[in-house]
Amino acid sequence: MHILDTEGLTKRFPTVTALDGLTVTTGPGVTGLVGANGAGKSTLIKILLGLLPPTAGGARVLGLDVTTRGADIRRLVGYMPEHECLPPDVSATELVVHLARMSGLPRTAARERAADVLRHVGLAEERYRPIGGYSTGMKQRVKLAQALVHDPKLILLDEPTNGLDPRGRDEMLALIRRIGAEFGISVLVTSHLLGELERVCDHVIVIDAGRLLRSSAIGEFTQTTRSVTVEVDEGTQALADRLVELGHGVAPHGRMLLVEVSGPDTLDAIRDATADLGLCLIRLERGRQRIEDVFREAAGV
Ligand SMILES: Nc1ncnc2c1ncn2[C@@H]1O[C@H](COP(=O)(O)OP(=O)(O)OP(=O)(O)O)[C@@H](O)[C@H]1O
């Protein structure tokens, strides 16, 4: 079953078209939604939650129509908003128990479930202190905990690594991966940092100015390319000249060279040219396409 699917989804605000005929589907697992700031990610999430009506086209979440089944969708879906939205004067426990009760859990079950999710996201003793004194990383964990407390089938995470330092970001990404893999909850996670999504997603959707650039399994994004990266300690230009003389396609790439692989003898030619010129070979590596490259290509940047 599709976790979400949209067809010709369009959202126009008075001065801007935030989503422009977006047609996309994704299945279970962790899906990344990538786009620059203003690409339409948050608008899409609000439409998927049934909180914002589309101008044209349609969307379904877990098979439910967003325009008519918003309340049912919100029962089955958890949402972690992008912006700071937590009350400073209550503790994480109080907030998460309260939200669990609002989603219909009886008092005892709400307490137990809140304790479970707060433990899963890594908030220990601090959970009894007022949220106002928390670090950004702790606040992000509270937002994640409240998205999980009613045992959703799918969670929508809007820029969950925003404002985190590298360690906090790694921890948050590991948590997202665990939620997808161990708890079997599907995840839609947005980010403008493409490298992050490569690490945790099964599927990636790239949008730009409200339009779909690409939607593929992560393996297709990062498949190997037809070039190798070559790095020598000195004499990069001499090596490039020699390989060009021999008829190979060579392009500079910072301190390295990208050499087009035309056949099995290309690697031998690089090895022989390096040895003939007396250079020290530091790296010879099969190129991999990164999401960033796809984004640049598609956007014509
Ligand atoms: N309520 C609104 N009224 C008018 N314009 C809006 C509204 N919400 C979003 N927009 C505009 O729609 C476009 C898409 O915004 P959106 O917040 O969906 O982008 P985003 O990809 O989530 O970016 P960011 O990460 O910066 O939030 C932007 O140009 C934004 O200014």
ipTM of this predicted complex? Answer: 0.95
Q: What is the pLDDT of residue 300?
A: 58
Q: What is the pLDDT of residue 223?
A: 62
Cα–Cα distance between 115 and 146 in angstroms, integer? 11
Does the pTM of the predicted model rise above 0.95? no
**Exposure of 263 by Cβ count < 10 A (0-12 exposed, 13-18 middle, 19+ buried)?**
exposed
Q: Using most ligand atoms within 8 A of CB, pick from 9, 33, 42 the residue to mutate for ligand 1.
A: 42
Q: What is the pLDDT of residue 234?
A: 87
**Cβ contacts of 17 within 8 Å, gap of 6 or more:** 10, 11, 209, 210
pLDDT of residue 301 exceeding 60, the answer is no
pLDDT, mean over the chain? 90
**Domain ranges within the chain, ordered by starting residue:** 4-221, 224-299
Mean pLDDT of 276-298: 75
Mean pLDDT of 183-210: 87
The amino acid sitting at 211 is R
Decide: 26 in ligand 1 pocket, CB within 6 A: no
Q: What single DSSP character describes residue 280?
A: P
Mean pLDDT of 71-86: 93
The CATH class given to the 4-221 domain equals alpha beta
**Ligand 1 centroid from CA 18, angstroms:** 6
Which whole-number Å values give the CA distances from 291 to 180, 198, 203, 215, 295, in the listed order? 21, 7, 11, 11, 6
Mean pLDDT of 45-68: 96
Q: What is the pLDDT of residue 288?
A: 64
Q: What is the pLDDT of residue 299?
A: 57
Q: What is the pLDDT of residue 116?
A: 94
Pick the atom of ligand 1 nearest to 36's CA. 21
Nearest CA to 11 among 36, 49, 37, 46?
46
The per-residue DSSP string of 17-46 comes to EEEEEEEEEE-SSEEEEE--TTSSHHHHHH
Decide: 37 in ligand 1 pocket, CB within 6 A: yes
Q: What is the pLDDT of residue 294?
A: 62
Decide if 64 contacts 73 (C-beta within 8 A). Answer: yes
Cα–Cα distance between 197 and 33 in angstroms, integer? 8
Mean pLDDT of 24-28: 94
Residue-wise pLDDT for 233-258, tens only, equals 889 999 999 999 999 999 988 888 99
pLDDT of residue 296 exceeding 80, the answer is no
Which pair of tokens denotes residue 176? 């997202």
Task: Domain 224-299: give its CATH code.
Answer: 3.30.70.270
Cα–Cα distance between 71 and 259 in angstroms, integer? 55
pLDDT of residue 267 exceeding 70, the answer is yes
**Percent of the chain's residues with pLDDT above 90:** 67
Mean pLDDT of 272-286: 90
Which residue's CA lies nearest to atom 30 of ligand 1? 38
